[in-house]
Amino acid sequence: MDSVFTMLKKYDQEHLIAFMNKLPENMKETLIRELDGLDWGLLDIIRNKDSKEGRGEISPISVLTIPQIKEKEEAYTETGIKAIQEGKVAAMLLAGGMGTRLGCKGPKGVFDIGVTHELYIFEQLFRNAMDSAEAAGKEFPFFIMTSDKNHEETVQFLKDHNFFGYPAELVHFFKQDMAPCVDFDGHLLMESAGKLATSPNGNGGWYSSFVKAGMLPVAEQYGVEWLNCFAVDNVLQRICDPCFIGAVLAEGKVSGAKVVSKADPHERVGVLCLEDGKPSIVEYYELGEDMAMAKNEAGEYLYNYGVILNYLFRIDKLNEIIDKRMPLHEAEKKIPYVDPDGTAHSPETPNGYKFETLILDMVHMMDDCLGYEVDRNREFAPVKNKTGVDSVESARALLKLNGVEL
């Protein structure tokens, strides 16, 4: 108990003592337990957020282009199929996000994207996974990361729908960690009198949450060596795509990233490149006009390949980096909170920060990464917004283009 109070003092969070003093004994203990489990180092990062290190030297990376893949498609696919058959590959669905842009109440995967009949996002993803499983003649383990905010609903929904025909015994859920929310002065906010305000800690926390949740032995039991991570919202994505897996293995890389040729030099996607000679992803707003427009002698854009959040990672390499701190990204948000006197506030303008780590930062921690180009019309239909770019409408159009009946 002492240590929590010491930490509150050390990290300038003594305002929480006022909350504790008003709580009944059992709630006080719960709050102390929550604080005891807090990653205090996170508050250090938050305090020093203005002195973040800048980027290293950025240079273009060469990727395996669609014509190059075509040339070796058969051999790559064979290698990938063998890896699936040997149980070496598992799917890792990152579904802990809040889907705020789409404005759906529940988990994004339960969103119905159908027109004349129901077609849930989760349903489409399992269909896509079945395509690869059928090609390999074997289903693979399917891990799903949820968060405190959507776990029960996700699990119940998938059980109610019988995992859309995917073998239930291969599906494993785990919850991602939460990160505390702070006000603009770095003070922890309270969601209710006895509970910290928290939010999912971003998709970069997936591997540490996976290990913490005891999933590593589960993966090892199947003999899994590679994890194919992907977002919940790209309804066209190939899951455990044999050709992609085979290419990463055959090219002797420790990770791979599916990329698309950018729709225009300013498209809002992270760009795969090299940073100080190591693979890295630079966000579109960090790229700058000169780099976005830079071309090689053949007239091709040098920073042309955008990531689509579909990665392959080798587990032994993930274990090497698991203790490394990932960069923390803060976002100003409206965070509901309570006062020590119990008054609840729902701010109409941002009042603090939420913090996230991003999976794209993991790529820079890998020794190498195979950029693997895919056709955006065949594999990239993210459902981020209600309308416009990357929306329900655009995803429906792309699903139709690919022969999916809506």
Question: Where do contacts with ligand UTP occur on this chain (CB under 6 A)?
Answer: 94-101, 108, 145, 176, 200-203, 231-233, 309, 356, 384
State the minimum distance, in angstroms, from the CB of residue 72 to ligand UTP: 30
Please report which helix (H) or strand (E) contains residue 183, including its range: strand 182-183
State the minimum distance, in angstroms, from the CB of residue 93 to ligand UTP: 7
State the minimum distance, in angstroms, from the CB of residue 37 to ligand UTP: 18
The C-alpha atoms of residue 18 and residue 225 are separated, in whole angstroms, by: 49
The C-alpha atoms of residue 224 and residue 230 are separated, in whole angstroms, by: 17
State the minimum distance, in angstroms, from the CB of residue 98 to ligand UTP: 4
Which pair of structure tokens corresponds to residue 226? 């590679």
- Report the SS3 class of residue 306: strand
Closest-CB residue for ligand UTP? 97
The C-alpha atoms of residue 335 and residue 405 are separated, in whole angstroms, by: 40
DSSP state of 214: T
Residue number, 254 or 383, with CB nearest to ligand UTP: 383
Residue number, 60 or 96, with CB nearest to ligand UTP: 96
Residue number, 83 or 231, with CB nearest to ligand UTP: 231
State the minimum distance, in angstroms, from the CB of residue 360 to ligand UTP: 10
Residue number, 80 or 382, with CB nearest to ligand UTP: 382
State the minimum distance, in angstroms, from the CB of residue 323 to ligand UTP: 20
Residue number, 314 or 354, with CB nearest to ligand UTP: 354
Residue number, 209 or 280, with CB nearest to ligand UTP: 209
The C-alpha atoms of residue 253 and residue 87 are separated, in whole angstroms, by: 19
Q: Are strands 305-314 and 337-338 parallel, antiparallel or unpaired?
A: unpaired
Residues ≥6 apart with Cβ < 8 Å to 2: none
The C-alpha atoms of residue 111 and residue 119 are separated, in whole angstroms, by: 8
